[in-house]
Structure formats: C-alpha cells, structure tokens
Homo-oligomer: A and B are copies of this chain.
Amino acid sequence: MIYFTVGPTQLYPKLRVFINQAIREEIMSKSHRGEWFQKLFSDLTESLRLLLTIPKSHHIFFVSSGTECMERVIENTVVKNSFHFVNGAFSKRFYKTAKELGKSPEQIEVPLGQSFDFQKVEIPKNTETICLTHNETSTGVMLPLQQIYSIKKKQPDKLVAVDVVSSIPYVDIDYRKVDLVFFSVQKGFGLPSGFGVLIVSPQAFEKSQFLLKKGFSTGSYHSFSELSKYEARNQTPETPNVLDMFLLYHVVTDMHKQGIKKIRKAVEKRASMIENFIEKSERYSYLVKDSADRSKTIHVVKDINDNKNLIKFLNLKQIVVSSGYGELKNSHIRISCFPAHTDRQVELLISALKRYSSN
C-alpha cells in the first residue's frame, strides 16, 4: 500500500535497510548507559543540527511524543499565563494542556480551515509563552513563518513555542527567531511512532531555571533541568526509544546526503501537483479556501459526496489516505505530502482521484 496518511504514514524509503542494520548490530540489546549509546546520542544531535541548522546554543531534548512536548513546554516555561493561537484540534490540545496543568491560558480561536489576522491579534501583556501550531494537521492550514517571527520580535521578553509536528523537515525554520520548537518522528521523517524532539532556546531554558529557583515544579525526569543534565553526558534520564533514535539518526543523515534544499523543493513540487489537480477539479475542493494559507504537507480535501466510497475506492487502488478530523470525519479526506513520498506515488494518487471522479 502507499500511505498518504498524515502520520503514521509512508515509511522513509530506506527504513527497512536501517531496521535490518539495527537488528544486525544488536542495538536493541545495548545499554543506554554505555559508550555506544553516548555516541549515538551525540551523532543524532549533530546530524539534527546539521540538517535543520539548529544553533549550538540551543538544547535538543528527546522525549516520547509531540503531545509530551506540549506538556513539557508548559511545565517548564509557564507559571500562569500562556496564549494560544487555536485553529484546529492540535492547537486546541496545546491550550487544553495548559488548562489541565492548572494554568490560566488564553486563546484566539478561528473557524476550521482559516488562518489568523495576525495584525489584529491582541496578546495579553502578562503572557509568558505564546503557542502556535505551524501546520495544523486537522485542517491543513500552515502559518507564515514571518508572522511568527514578528510576534517574537515585537515582544522579545515573551517566549514563542512552535509545533512543527507535521511540517518538519519541510519547514525551514530559523531557530534563533523563536524559543521552543517541537516535533514527533512519524510524520515528515517517515519513522515508527514513539519519539519526540524538543528544541529549546537559551532564553526558554533560563525561564525553566528561574521557575525552579522560585520553587515551582517543572516536572520530574523530563524537566528541562534533568534533560539538560543528561544531555551534557549524551544520555537521557530514562531508557528512551533507542530504536527510533538509531533510525532517526540514519534517516537524518541520509536526508543530509541528499540535500535538504532538494528535499524541500521536491515536497513543494508534489504539493503543487496535488493542488493543481484539486483546484481544476469540479468534484474535489480544499477546506482551506485561501491558497496562501494552505499547507504543503497536509492537504484537506472535500469530495462532493460523503468520503466513505472514495476511501474504499482508493484502498482498492492500494492507496491509503486519512479521513477528516473531528467534525470533518465523514466529509473530508486528508492527504499528506512528505519527503518519503515520490513523484510517481503522487501521480498514482492523482490518477486514482481522477478515475474516481469519472465514475
């Protein structure tokens, strides 16, 4: 099957090779306190810095999911006031996380499929951390990086946290212009799920140290403080998902060899193939009306009918897409466009969508 699901999704093409290597090298039995692991940790960190241009000043913390990252961001940087740009289920989850952790989050919320009028958003003065979802996996809206950067520029004393779960590594984010960036690996990296990465600026790390000094709890084994103590010796506080770390290292290294610019251009090309087809079609339409707001990696598309038969038809053609999220479950499909996909696969998808519309 070809998986155009939004994550878990199509595996990175060489993943089987890397899994076999993992078995051959017995990495699943090796100690997470030994030299072998320390080298893997350091290699992975270095390869991520290289591929994504992460400054040396920034911490790279390894956790277990993107959802965990939301919790750790709030625990470590917010005493009371976070502010959330909410435009779908995942930005809502970020807001809810702050609420559940006993904070007093505020939000600006827009209807599904829309972006924000950034000039008009008023961020309360007492806000500590501003939370944005760069690429809403539930609606297929991608926020413009320049707008995110300018939020930080206008109020440099506040922290800016950006969820890039479904846009990385396509998104070319400047880590010096925001404070907290996080993702999981089962989307744009084409890996098995169960691993998350959280990149933390010196300013955000300082905030967590300030909270600790003031006697606030910042969590236990995954507080920034504990994570950084272990990071300094190339280890993690707990026994982590070592297999995913090994696989991520190999995928990131392979991407770097191919060239990240080339990979990003290829994603854009395939996204255009999908977009051109949908826009010309009389049967299918985008949830996101303004093409400037449309994600390159997540395409949320409506069939004129209920999606049930369409999904069935695609499955018969060996193609799997995601259904819509939440209230869009039966009306929309979601199509991912990640580095692991090929032009040929996207051609097959488009030709299947065409054939279905001529039925």
Contact with B along A210-253 (1 / 0, CB 8 A): 00000011111111001000000000011111111000000000
B219 touches A64 (CB 8 A): no
A193 touches B66 (CB 8 A): no
Contacts of A242 in B (CB 8 A): 8, 192-194
User: What is the copy number of this chain in the assembly?
Assistant: 2
In chain A, positions 181-196 with a C-beta closer than 8 Å to chain B are: 184, 186, 191-195
Choice from B28, B30, B67, B237 contacting A221 with Cβ under 8 Å: B67
Do A239 and B71 form a contact, CB below 8 Å, given A29-B8, A100-B219, A100-B220?
A: no
User: Does A68 reach chain B (CB closer than 8 Å)?
Assistant: yes
In chain A, positions 1-55 with a C-beta closer than 8 Å to chain B are: 1, 3, 5, 7-11, 15-16, 19, 23, 26, 28-32
Complex-state Cα separation, A191 to B242, whole angstroms: 11
Complex-state Cα separation, A102 to B212, whole angstroms: 10
Do A239 and B186 form a contact, CB below 8 Å, given A23-B19, A219-B101?
A: yes
Do A184 and B11 form a contact, CB below 8 Å, given A23-B19, A217-B102?
A: no
Do A244 and B67 form a contact, CB below 8 Å, given A11-B28, A217-B101, A219-B101?
A: no
22 A–B contact pairs at CB < 8 A? A1-B26, A1-B29, A3-B26, A3-B29, A19-B19, A29-B320, A31-B322, A64-B241, A67-B237, A70-B221, A71-B221, A100-B218, A192-B241, A192-B242, A192-B243, A193-B240, A193-B241, A193-B242, A194-B194, A194-B195, A194-B239, A195-B241
